[in-house]
Amino acid sequence: MAAQSDLDGPPASVTSADERTGAPVGLIAMSAAIIAFSLSTPIVKWTGVTGVVLAFWRMWISVGTWWITLIVARRRARGTVGGIDWPSRRTWRLVAPAGLCFGMNISLLFTAVTRTSIAHVEFIATLTPLTIVPAGALIFGERPNWSALRFGGISLVGVAIVLFFGPAKGSATVDGDLIMLCVLCSWTAYLIFTKRARAAGVDTISFMACMMPTGLITTVPMALLLAGDGIVHDMTRRGWFIVVVLALLTGMVAHGCIAFAQQHLPMATITVMQVAQPALAVVFAFVILDEQVRLVQVGGMALVIAGIALFTRTAQRRPVELVPNTT
């Protein structure tokens, strides 16, 4: 989930013809990103390592990879007009709130993954658009198509079916589901603060290079509080392998694929394609973890996917106007 935010919008110069021409490679890139994100939660649970411990080390590795990316980008841009500067104090201040929320989000997410079923994790997370639209209207003065919210009711019914009609001996727990609600809130806050920073002119590489270290401010205390010396002792060879895979697969490759796809596909196509992610994650959970899903839950999942797809398409029909909230 952490990584499921689209930090960059499509360039204004991209035309409909360009999108049609680049559709095949764009679809391949988006498919790769969706597969990567769908795999992330099942393999976190597969490690058997405490969630906050995985989040702790995943954040440290991501810090290193993004600062290496920044250094390489600076060297390549050396001598060019404008170049790439080191992040300024202003950049750090703008990005810090998003980083704090992201660090909390990934720690809570990895914890929830180890305490409830993947189906519950993924389909609670799909409710993000239903929280983002009202937040955008309240904070940024956006004017969404409010009629889209009626489709949110379909998704809520579907999520309720997924949550309350699971197998009697399944891995889902109430405390894990409650943690996922906190994940939903922290992810919404992260997206809001990300939008503020990007609207203020912070580029992608600088944003990620500042966001990851500030995320440690919340990740480290949570890991120390919940895991203690288990931060080192609980890690297994499998855990170290998965941490590196997560940092590279989702932290770098998946986000890169989405950024690439934005140059070749309409945003509506991207958002609707991402709706398939939770269902695919449930399939991977069945294959990797042998997590069972009842037939009635499959019906609930279909309602969630249909509701969110209709919601996103309807919400995008009216152009969104960004008006800073001066109150």
Give residue for tokens 């990103």.
33
And the tokens for 75? 């060297």
- Cβ(278)–Cβ(301) under 8 Å? yes
DSSP labels for 303-327? HHHHHHHHHHHHHTSSPP-------
And the tokens for 285? 């959970």
Residue 106 reports pLDDT greater than 60? yes
User: What pLDDT band is residue 5 in, cutting at 50, 70 and 90?
Assistant: very low
For residue range 202-249, list pLDDT tens digits in order.
Answer: 888 888 899 999 999 999 999 999 888 888 888 888 999 999 988 888
What was the pLDDT predicted at 324?
A: 39
Q: Cα–Cα distances in Å, from 27 out to 122, 168, 221, 263?
A: 22, 38, 40, 11
Is the entire prediction scored with pTM above 0.95?
no
For residue range 56-103, list pLDDT tens digits in order.
Answer: 999 999 899 889 989 998 888 776 655 678 899 999 999 999 999 999
CB-count burial class (<10 Å; 0-12, 13-18, 19+) for 37: buried
CA distance 245 to 243: 5
Distance of CA 122 to the CA centre of its chain: 11
For residue range 114-153, list pLDDT tens digits in order.
Answer: 888 888 888 888 777 777 777 776 776 666 666 766 777 7
Q: By percentage, how much of the chain surpasses pLDDT 90?
A: 21
- Provide the total of helices (H) and of strands (E) in the chain, helices listed first: 15, 0
Q: By percentage, how much of the chain surpasses pLDDT 70?
A: 79
CA distance 230 to 26: 42
What was the pLDDT predicted at 53?
A: 92
What was the pLDDT predicted at 26?
A: 77
Residue 11 reports pLDDT greater than 60? no
Mean pLDDT computed over every residue of the chain? 79
And the tokens for 309? 């797809």
What was the pLDDT predicted at 25?
A: 82
Q: Look at residues 250, 270, 310, 272 and name the one whose alpha carbon lies nearest to residue 22.
A: 270
**Dihedral (CA of 270, 297, 187, 69) sign:** negative
